Amino acid sequence: MISRNYFFVLVLFVLTACKSHQASVAISNTYDPVTNITTLIQVPYGNIAIPGKWIEVNFNTSRQQTFLKNADSVSIAVGKNPQKNYKVHSSNQNDKQFVSAFYKWDSKQQKHKGEIIELLNDNSDNGYIIWRLKGQNINTIFLCGAKKSLFYNFVCFSPTWTDQQRIQFLVNLFYTN
Protein backbone atom coordinates (compact mmCIF):
# COMPACT_ATOMS: atom_id res chain seq x y z
CA MET A 1 0.00 0.00 0.00
CA ILE A 2 1.30 3.42 -0.99
CA SER A 3 1.40 5.96 1.80
CA ARG A 4 -0.58 9.18 1.39
CA ASN A 5 2.57 11.36 1.49
CA TYR A 6 4.23 9.30 -1.22
CA PHE A 7 1.10 9.57 -3.36
CA PHE A 8 1.00 13.39 -3.08
CA VAL A 9 4.69 13.67 -3.92
CA LEU A 10 4.16 11.44 -6.95
CA VAL A 11 1.19 13.52 -8.16
CA LEU A 12 3.13 16.76 -7.67
CA PHE A 13 6.07 15.35 -9.61
CA VAL A 14 3.86 14.21 -12.50
CA LEU A 15 2.07 17.57 -12.69
CA THR A 16 5.29 19.59 -12.77
CA ALA A 17 7.05 17.19 -15.15
CA CYS A 18 4.21 17.38 -17.69
CA LYS A 19 4.15 21.15 -17.75
CA SER A 20 5.38 22.39 -21.12
CA HIS A 21 4.77 26.13 -20.82
CA GLN A 22 4.62 28.00 -17.57
CA ALA A 23 2.60 31.20 -17.48
CA SER A 24 2.38 33.81 -14.79
CA VAL A 25 -0.75 33.53 -12.72
CA ALA A 26 -2.03 36.35 -10.53
CA ILE A 27 -3.60 34.57 -7.60
CA SER A 28 -4.58 37.53 -5.45
CA ASN A 29 -3.83 41.06 -4.44
CA THR A 30 -3.63 42.60 -1.03
CA TYR A 31 -3.57 46.18 0.17
CA ASP A 32 -1.51 47.31 3.15
CA PRO A 33 -2.84 50.63 4.51
CA VAL A 34 0.30 51.18 6.58
CA THR A 35 2.63 51.20 3.57
CA ASN A 36 -0.07 52.26 1.07
CA ILE A 37 1.01 49.44 -1.25
CA THR A 38 -1.12 46.97 -3.19
CA THR A 39 0.77 43.73 -3.75
CA LEU A 40 -0.23 41.59 -6.70
CA ILE A 41 0.80 38.07 -5.82
CA GLN A 42 2.03 36.38 -8.99
CA VAL A 43 3.13 32.80 -9.20
CA PRO A 44 5.83 31.76 -10.05
CA TYR A 45 7.67 34.94 -11.11
CA GLY A 46 7.29 37.09 -8.04
CA ASN A 47 5.01 39.78 -6.76
CA ILE A 48 4.35 43.22 -8.18
CA ALA A 49 4.18 46.03 -5.60
CA ILE A 50 1.97 48.92 -6.72
CA PRO A 51 1.87 52.24 -4.83
CA GLY A 52 -1.66 53.10 -3.65
CA LYS A 53 -4.86 51.15 -3.27
CA TRP A 54 -5.90 49.23 -6.37
CA ILE A 55 -8.77 46.82 -7.06
CA GLU A 56 -8.36 43.99 -9.56
CA VAL A 57 -10.79 44.31 -12.46
CA ASN A 58 -9.74 41.71 -15.03
CA PHE A 59 -7.01 39.35 -16.21
CA ASN A 60 -6.00 39.16 -19.88
CA THR A 61 -4.74 35.64 -20.51
CA SER A 62 -3.25 36.33 -23.94
CA ARG A 63 -1.11 39.22 -22.62
CA GLN A 64 -0.69 37.74 -19.13
CA GLN A 65 -1.66 41.08 -17.58
CA THR A 66 -3.79 41.96 -14.59
CA PHE A 67 -5.97 45.05 -14.92
CA LEU A 68 -6.55 47.18 -11.82
CA LYS A 69 -8.36 50.44 -11.02
CA ASN A 70 -8.04 52.95 -8.19
CA ALA A 71 -10.66 55.23 -6.58
CA ASP A 72 -9.76 58.06 -9.01
CA SER A 73 -10.71 55.89 -12.02
CA VAL A 74 -7.08 55.48 -13.06
CA SER A 75 -6.65 52.10 -14.72
CA ILE A 76 -3.44 50.13 -15.05
CA ALA A 77 -2.40 46.79 -16.43
CA VAL A 78 0.63 44.94 -15.10
CA GLY A 79 2.39 41.83 -16.30
CA LYS A 80 5.65 40.12 -15.41
CA ASN A 81 6.75 37.04 -17.34
CA PRO A 82 9.88 35.35 -18.69
CA GLN A 83 11.25 36.93 -21.85
CA LYS A 84 11.46 33.47 -23.41
CA ASN A 85 7.64 33.30 -23.50
CA TYR A 86 7.47 35.99 -26.21
CA LYS A 87 7.76 35.63 -29.99
CA VAL A 88 10.44 38.32 -30.18
CA HIS A 89 12.77 36.51 -27.76
CA SER A 90 16.12 35.24 -28.97
CA SER A 91 18.57 33.40 -26.75
CA ASN A 92 21.41 35.79 -27.60
CA GLN A 93 19.50 39.01 -26.75
CA ASN A 94 20.31 41.29 -23.87
CA ASP A 95 17.55 43.26 -22.09
CA LYS A 96 17.99 46.32 -24.33
CA GLN A 97 17.65 44.24 -27.49
CA PHE A 98 14.62 42.38 -26.14
CA VAL A 99 12.79 45.59 -25.15
CA SER A 100 13.52 47.18 -28.54
CA ALA A 101 12.31 44.08 -30.39
CA PHE A 102 9.15 43.88 -28.30
CA TYR A 103 8.36 47.57 -28.82
CA LYS A 104 8.80 47.25 -32.59
CA TRP A 105 6.61 44.16 -32.72
CA ASP A 106 3.85 45.42 -30.39
CA SER A 107 3.66 48.92 -31.87
CA LYS A 108 3.50 47.43 -35.37
CA GLN A 109 0.56 45.25 -34.28
CA GLN A 110 -1.26 48.32 -32.95
CA LYS A 111 -0.45 50.40 -36.02
CA HIS A 112 -2.06 47.75 -38.23
CA LYS A 113 -5.26 48.35 -36.27
CA GLY A 114 -5.15 52.00 -37.38
CA GLU A 115 -3.92 53.45 -34.09
CA ILE A 116 -1.30 56.20 -33.78
CA ILE A 117 1.96 55.16 -32.11
CA GLU A 118 4.24 57.70 -30.45
CA LEU A 119 7.61 56.80 -28.93
CA LEU A 120 7.88 58.91 -25.76
CA ASN A 121 11.13 57.70 -24.16
CA ASP A 122 13.58 55.14 -25.49
CA ASN A 123 15.44 54.32 -22.30
CA SER A 124 16.36 50.84 -23.46
CA ASP A 125 19.88 51.34 -22.05
CA ASN A 126 18.17 51.22 -18.64
CA GLY A 127 15.86 48.39 -19.66
CA TYR A 128 12.64 50.11 -20.74
CA ILE A 129 10.79 51.97 -23.48
CA ILE A 130 7.76 54.22 -22.97
CA TRP A 131 5.30 54.75 -25.77
CA ARG A 132 1.77 55.99 -26.39
CA LEU A 133 -1.14 54.49 -28.26
CA LYS A 134 -3.64 57.05 -29.52
CA GLY A 135 -6.86 56.63 -31.35
CA GLN A 136 -10.52 57.42 -31.11
CA ASN A 137 -11.20 57.50 -27.34
CA ILE A 138 -7.77 55.95 -26.67
CA ASN A 139 -4.78 57.63 -25.02
CA THR A 140 -2.78 54.91 -23.33
CA ILE A 141 0.83 54.99 -22.16
CA PHE A 142 2.90 51.79 -22.11
CA LEU A 143 6.15 50.85 -20.45
CA CYS A 144 7.76 47.70 -21.73
CA GLY A 145 10.81 46.74 -19.72
CA ALA A 146 13.19 43.88 -19.16
CA LYS A 147 15.52 42.85 -16.37
CA LYS A 148 16.86 39.57 -15.01
CA SER A 149 15.32 37.52 -17.86
CA LEU A 150 11.84 38.85 -17.02
CA PHE A 151 9.63 41.09 -19.14
CA TYR A 152 7.54 43.81 -17.50
CA ASN A 153 4.54 45.08 -19.44
CA PHE A 154 2.90 48.05 -17.69
CA VAL A 155 0.07 50.20 -19.04
CA CYS A 156 -1.69 53.30 -17.67
CA PHE A 157 -4.85 54.99 -18.90
CA SER A 158 -6.42 57.81 -16.96
CA PRO A 159 -8.97 60.57 -17.48
CA THR A 160 -7.38 62.60 -14.64
CA TRP A 161 -3.60 62.07 -14.59
CA THR A 162 -1.34 64.09 -16.89
CA ASP A 163 1.01 62.31 -19.27
CA GLN A 164 3.91 63.16 -16.96
CA GLN A 165 2.11 61.65 -13.94
CA ARG A 166 1.41 58.45 -15.86
CA ILE A 167 4.97 58.20 -17.14
CA GLN A 168 6.44 58.81 -13.68
CA PHE A 169 4.11 56.21 -12.16
CA LEU A 170 5.12 53.59 -14.74
CA VAL A 171 8.86 54.30 -14.37
CA ASN A 172 8.60 54.07 -10.57
CA LEU A 173 6.66 50.82 -10.93
CA PHE A 174 9.41 49.39 -13.12
CA TYR A 175 12.24 50.40 -10.80
CA THR A 176 10.52 49.15 -7.63
CA ASN A 177 9.74 45.76 -9.11
Structural domains of the chain, with CATH: 53-176 (3.40.1000)
Question: Digits of tens for pLDDT over the chain (177 positions)?
Answer: 443 333 222 222 222 333 334 555 657 889 999 999 999 988 888 899 999 999 999 988 878 899 999 999 999 999 999 999 999 999 899 999 999 999 999 988 888 777 899 999 999 999 999 999 998 888 999 999 999 999 999 999 999 999 999 999 999 999 999
Confirm if 68 and 60 have CB atoms less than 8 A apart.
no
Distances (CA, A) of 12 to 18, 42, 74, 112, 143: 10, 20, 40, 44, 37
